[in-house]
Chains A and B, each alone.
Chain A
Amino acid sequence: MKKIISIILFVCTLVIFTACDGINANNEDKPFEPSYDTNTSCKITVAGSYDNFEALEAEFDRFNDIYPNVQLSYVKLDDYSNTIATVLESKDKPNIFFSYAGMVGNESYKSVFEHMENLSDSSLNMNLNCIRSGLINHDENGNVLMIPVLSRTYGMLVNKDLFKKFNLSIPTTLEELNTVCETFKTKGYESPMMGYSRKSSSCFMYTLAYPMFVVTLAKNPEALALANALNPAAGEYMRPALEAMKQIIDKKYIDINECDEIADNYTKVILRFFEGDVPMMICAGDTVSGTKKRESQSEAFKNSPFDYTFAPIPLTEEGGYFIDSPSIEFSVNKYCDNLDMTNEFMRFLISNKELNNLASIKRLLTPTKDLSFDTIYAPFGQVPSDRIVSPEVLGVLDPLTVQIRVAAYRVGKGELTIDEAVEMYGSF
């Protein structure tokens, strides 16, 4: 009997590996083959909310290696959320524009969605398989109107040199996290963990609490509906997240006063981390994207550079969570000029190679299935699939995130107790 079971297990294992191998094979890029005359001359504009997007401009250059006469440019729109609809109707209508998961279900973006091309149309031959399935949003018709080109998550920047100095490993469980923090404290690091805390936007409290809250909702589908509806009854589901966050503060692993010294939630967070005396800096992936460029702006880092990475925060005994969300998604304006060449550019861009390249320059998480290429985000590649949660796939809406963000911030600041915050869900 044991023998039969062993054989069955072996065969199953073989089939799984073969299947995995097949997936990997499908994920491999085919060399890009131009569909049109490479001397084609036209203009393509990408409109977005970023002040600048050099990573995308680098992709323009790479596309120009194939189509040298296609003039691609990125335009930052003022008040993007409010003007995109107008811009899409204007003479300056862009070919490609930023879209966000938050737009889904929002009536004010109805006209924007009407401009979006179905990028899953097989005639366009987009390689959507290269993107992690949890990041792709399908509408009610199964169409893909937005393709994530960058993704984000939540975690902590880890000063690897400090860990190495004290012979410590990056923690992967809550217990390990506690141990590491205690060790650092004994070594004189009063606040082994830090983060932005002046305002609720991108504060470390939210970064700590949000993943756990989403996971809790994911485990309770009825709770998600309540939470999206901002029903106070959903407040109870915040409790585990808030408690975990509060516990870190209470154990003095984070010195809020010191965190309040950090003036903004982006540049100053990075520069503070580059001072070299912070073992773990809690932040979102968007903040990590600014590290590369700021290495040269930090005198401390230039004088004493160190190795660092971005890792999940292990707030449970099982480990941390990988909240896998699109950061930027691209939609194609189906009413734009030069639609064929626009789709050609998208076909060029949506590939492991180009998306990884884009993410590497932007230093954001790539939306592709391969996370190993970037050592900064490599730890997220180690997170088992059952601990990966995609809020967009789950159906988490923007108002929900505001509730947990404010609640976590105020609890963290001591303005509210956890009970008060739970009761106040829907009122933030």
Chain B
Amino acid sequence: MKRIWIIIVNVFIMIAMVIFVILYSNDENKSSIKRQIEYFENTTITMKHITENYLEGEQRICDVWTHYINSNEMTIDEAVTFIRTSHVQPNASAHIVFLDTLTGLSTKGRNGDLNNYSVSYERINLLNDVSWISEIGKSINVSRAYTNPVNGEQSIAFCNKVNVRDTSTGDIKNAILLRVMPIAELEQKWVFPKEEFASAELSMIDDDGDYIIKGHSFKNSNLFEFYRSYNDVDNLTIDELSKKITSSTGSITMLNSRGEECILAYTSISASKGWTLLNYIPMKNLSVNTENWLLIGFISVGLFVLFVFDLAVMIIFNKKLHLAAKEAAAANKSKTDFLSTMSHDIRTPMNAIIGLTAITEKKLNDTKVVEENLHKITQASNHLLTLINDILDISKVESGKLSLNPQTFSIVETAQNLVNLFQPMVKEKNIDFNFRVGNMNIDYIYADQLRINQIYINILSNAIKYTEPGGSVSVDMRQEESPKPGYVRVVYNVADTGIGMSKDYLAIMYQPFSRQIDSRVNSIQGTGLGLAITKQMVDLMEGSIDCQSEQGKGTTFTIVLDLPIADKQRDEMVLDSMDVLIVDDDRVCLETAIETLKSLGVNPDSTTSGIEALEMIKHRHEIGQDYRIVILDWKMPDIDGVETIQRIRKDLDSNIPILLISAYDWTDIEDKAKEVGVNGFISKPLFRSTLYDKINEILGTASKSVEPQNDYSDLEGMHILVTEDNDINWEIISNMLEMYNITTERAENGRICVEKIKNAKKGHYDLIFMDIQMPEMNGLDATRYIRALGDSYDSSIPIIAMTADAFAENVTECLEAGMNGHIAKPIDIKLVLKEIRKIKEDRKNEKNN
């Protein structure tokens, strides 16, 4: 849904809610007003009863007077005197007026002439028609409000027809007795009893709507004229209104003279014919909570704030989702690119393998072609293997299952292997390769050798891969003190003069499937996973990886790892005090070598030139203090190491032991060097242990513990049980081992293996290679079974896993099942032989012990 629609829907809901609240509030108000009006009407009825009681009470007095006057046939003077004596209310008075003359006497004197009791109603239109005065006791005969002609006060009068005897004739004359009550007094008594209706005003009207008593807010002299003046009505409505008000009980709403809405409650006063009590109150004065605007305002503001908040959150979420979608799309694209790349990268070596295999089949008689093709097939296979390993690793990285399997190993050996591993590639690409070590005093560490090796290989292989022929790659490896107790800090710095990386790529280079150069359009092969895996592994080891790169100039990676120092370390390596000359044009290497030699307890002299070295050797020889050993770098600018040796032997006629240092494989110069008199070779980097061993070897002071490089004759005659269900795999391993005169026997699955072990004589098998995933009984179960056998031979026979399950957890699983080692398929025969030798020596040591 588009944002605008969401906003519209939200606004619509908000408006709907506010409208609902307004309607509900109005409805509640109406109900409340209705209740208040009902209450107001009821109060008016109560007031009616009070009024009726009052009127009846006053009329009753008037009736009593009339009875008394009539029964005693009093004259007007006697009647007035009687009333005057019986009348106790100070403000009230009474008038007796003859009907024929409308004149008479008052019980009180006139204003300003208190002795004048005469009264005249001639010009007051009140008694001209007395039909409204009923017979005594039949109703309340109360007049409209009028001006008392005696004292000028606005008054009402309770009236009765009375018979008064004429003083002169003695005849009985008709007269009216008026008990006159000032309105002001009445108003004081006629107070509305309810506090909540304090502003209510009472009035009384006759059946014509003329006010008998008029409240302040009532306008005009007639209620209906008042209504007509300020309300939009016609005559018919007024007539209906008049009938309604003067004959029933209820209330109406009307506008007052200010245009305000008012409630007019009305009820007929039954005691007085045609009279209606009115009760008036402005609507605003009803105690109704009409101030719900606060609630509505609060809800409106609340909804608006909620809306804005939701909108803001929605926008933020949308941005995040947009970003996530963008990232997902990018990741998806990366994966698509990756799959495309993988397809390309896998097909390329596969093409080589398949193609070369086909060619080889056709040219089996041409040994040279076969040899070349097999070499190329091997290279393609290795590349394919790397590719698969990387994919497996990144799969683990992404699933968070990458774990470390620490073990004790030699970091020095790791570094040496590293050099050895890349020598051929460096040589092939004609790259100036320097591997310098410094202060590598700690040999054994306890860490995941496989992963550390992988980190170092990844970084170094990238450096070599992306450096053009003629460029240089420098490796600096050193140990520093670690801030963690029991740890050593290993700094691994690889600098190349390769193609470098762009800033854009630097930002994403640790992301899986990313690579700066597409292998599909570039000859440089790569999975785009190496750096991602490396970064994950470094992070896992709580180390750091730093990269400085400039496109076209080169890249420098620095990896810092704090690694635990293993308990096992080499014995103290100290040589006899002796003078040693070391010659190397690489000043860094030279300084490092000097430091290493000093740490071994010898006194090193040094020079960067072969010529100078000759001078120094000559000088020492002349003073009778020959160096005990000379260590020469092979490649030097003036004269190289071989020529220097040649001159030492020829010109100086010296038999001084000489070691030739080479950063590369010395096989090319081995013959020539031996011919001119070299005593031994040593490869860079010059580890302390390497120097120690080599010097001892040259001087004949150490036992020969060095493994023969390509001599596996010691393994001849061994008999190995290979548990392998796959025929081809069985064929490969059996043939490979056969080349080294190692005999094999096959077990097709775990169960057969167990049977064979159980039935074998003690010592019949030297070793078992155990596949893991096999029918009937897998390798793990078979191992556990064998280890559980009571026989000590069976339970201790070495079992090496030989499986395509190459993950670390698979290795751990194998070791936990009781195996002694793990070789991942596809197998590297050298690794297999190395593992066999290790097993053999371990068995020999056990026997000796």
Binding site for B on A (CB under 8 A): 51-52, 54, 57-58, 61, 71, 73, 75-79, 82-83, 86-93, 293, 296-297
Query: Do residues B147 and A87 form an inter-chain contact, with CB atoms below 8 A?
Result: yes
Which of B125, B153, B226 lies in contact with A91, CB distance below 8 A? B153
- CB-CB < 8 A to A77: which residues of B? 147, 152
Query: Do residues A91 and B182 form an inter-chain contact, with CB atoms below 8 A?
Result: yes
Query: Do residues B125 and A90 form an inter-chain contact, with CB atoms below 8 A?
Result: no
CA distance A54 to B230 in the complex (A): 10
> With an 8 A cutoff between CB atoms, is B124 at the interface?
yes
Answer whether A90 and B153 are a contact pair too, CB < 8 Å, given A61-B258, A297-B235: yes
> With an 8 A cutoff between CB atoms, is B607 at the interface?
no
Query: Do residues A52 and B184 form an inter-chain contact, with CB atoms below 8 A?
Result: no
Distance from B190 Cβ to chain A, minimum over Cβ atoms (Å): 16
Query: Do residues B257 and A57 form an inter-chain contact, with CB atoms below 8 A?
Result: yes
- CB-CB < 8 A to A86: which residues of B? 110-111, 149-152
Query: Do residues A78 and B111 form an inter-chain contact, with CB atoms below 8 A?
Result: no
Which of B147, B220, B257 lies in contact with A78, CB distance below 8 A? B147
A-B contact pairs, 11 of them (CB 8 A): A51-B222, A52-B219, A52-B225, A54-B220, A71-B216, A78-B123, A78-B124, A78-B146, A78-B147, A87-B147, A89-B111
Query: Do residues A92 and B126 form an inter-chain contact, with CB atoms below 8 A?
Result: no
> With an 8 A cutoff between CB atoms, is B167 at the interface?
no
CA distance A52 to B214 in the complex (A): 12
Binding site for A on B (CB under 8 A): 110-112, 123-126, 146-154, 182, 184, 214, 216, 219-222, 225-226, 228-229, 234-235, 257-258
- CB-CB < 8 A to A296: which residues of B? 228, 234-235
Query: Do residues A58 and B257 form an inter-chain contact, with CB atoms below 8 A?
Result: yes
Query: Do residues A92 and B154 form an inter-chain contact, with CB atoms below 8 A?
Result: yes
CA distance A90 to B93 in the complex (A): 14
Which of B112, B221, B229 lies in contact with A76, CB distance below 8 A? B221
Answer whether A78 and B184 are a contact pair too, CB < 8 Å, given A52-B221, A54-B220: no
Answer whether A75 and B154 are a contact pair too, CB < 8 Å, given A54-B229, A82-B123: yes
Distance from A394 Cβ to chain B, minimum over Cβ atoms (Å): 30
CA distance A297 to B146 in the complex (A): 29
Answer whether A57 and B219 are a contact pair too, CB < 8 Å, given A87-B147, A92-B154: yes
CA distance A296 to B227 in the complex (A): 13
Distance from B810 Cβ to chain A, minimum over Cβ atoms (Å): 97
- Beyond contacts A58-B257, A90-B152: 8 other A-B pairs, Cβ-Cβ < 8 A, are A52-B219, A54-B226, A75-B154, A90-B151, A92-B154, A293-B228, A296-B228, A296-B234
CA distance A189 to B104 in the complex (A): 55
Q: B233: nearest residue on chain A (CB-CB)?
A: A296
Answer whether A73 and B147 are a contact pair too, CB < 8 Å, given A54-B229, A57-B257: no
Query: Do residues B152 and A83 form an inter-chain contact, with CB atoms below 8 A?
Result: yes
Q: A56: nearest residue on chain B (CB-CB)?
A: B219
- CB-CB < 8 A to A82: which residues of B? 123, 149
- CB-CB < 8 A to B219: which residues of A? 52, 54, 57
- CB-CB < 8 A to B182: which residues of A? 91-92
Which of B150, B151, B216, B225 lies in contact with A73, CB distance below 8 A? B216
- CB-CB < 8 A to A52: which residues of B? 219-222, 225
Query: Do residues B152 and A89 form an inter-chain contact, with CB atoms below 8 A?
Result: yes
Answer whether A79 and B123 are a contact pair too, CB < 8 Å, given A52-B225, A86-B111: yes
Q: A88: nearest residue on chain B (CB-CB)?
A: B152
CA distance A94 to B182 in the complex (A): 15
4 closest cross-chain pairs (CB), A and B:
A87-B152, A90-B152, A86-B152, A79-B123
CA distance A58 to B258 in the complex (A): 8
CA distance A120 to B258 in the complex (A): 32
CA distance A79 to B148 in the complex (A): 10
- CB-CB < 8 A to B226: which residues of A? 54
CA distance A14 to B149 in the complex (A): 60
Which of A73, A76, A92, A293 lies in contact with B152, CB distance below 8 A? A92
CA distance A58 to B230 in the complex (A): 11
- CB-CB < 8 A to B221: which residues of A? 51-52, 76
CA distance A54 to B226 in the complex (A): 8
Q: A43: nearest residue on chain B (CB-CB)?
A: B216
Which of B111, B225, B258 lies in contact with A90, CB distance below 8 A? B111
Tell which of A57, A61, A82, A92 has the most Cβ of chain B within 10 Å.
A92
Query: Do residues B126 and A78 form an inter-chain contact, with CB atoms below 8 A?
Result: yes
Distance from B237 Cβ to chain A, minimum over Cβ atoms (Å): 11
